[in-house]
Amino acid sequence: EVQLVESGGGLVQAGGSLRLSCAASGFIFDDYAIGWFRQAPGKEREGVSCISSSDDTTAYADSMKGRFTISSDNAKNMVYLQMNGLKPEDTAVYYCAARDGTRYCSVNGPFYAYWGQGAQVTVSS
C-alpha cells in the first residue's frame, strides 16, 4: 500500500520561505503522480501543484504559479514543494497525495487515492 509522509511545515513570517517534503513508498507501478493540496480552517481543500514521475511534468493551480515550485527526486521517492514569498493566507494544512499507475498528474483531489497526514504551515503577518 502506498504511504505518504509530509514534513517541513512550521511557522514562518510573511515573505519567508518553507520547503515541504513528501516521502512516498509502496508504489506497485513505475509511473505515479504526486499532488500537493492544502486546506485552511473553514475552507475547502484546494489543489496546489502536482508532478508526474514518468517525465516530471508539473502542473500548478493558477493562484499558486510563480511562488510555489514542485520538484522530485525519483531515486528517493521524494517530492518537494518550495514555497517562497509566503503570505498569511497561505496558512493551511498541506497534504501530499498519490495515484499509482498513471503517467499524468492533476490538481484535482478526487484524482488521488492515497493521502498523507498533513503538515501545518502557519504564516504570521
The mean pLDDT value of the chain amounts to 95
Does the structure show a pLDDT above 90 at 64? Answer: no
Residue 91 pLDDT level (bands cut at 50, 70, 90): very high
Give the whole-angstrom CA distance, residue 24 versus residue 19: 16
Q: State the CB neighbour count (10 A cutoff) for residue 28.
A: 9
Task: Give the three cell numbers for residue 26.
Answer: 509502496
pLDDT given at position 51: 97
Give the whole-angstrom CA distance, residue 53 versus residue 51: 7
pLDDT of 9-63, one tens digit each? 999 999 999 999 999 999 988 899 999 999 999 999 999 999 999 989 999 999 8
Give the whole-angstrom CA distance, residue 77 versus residue 40: 27
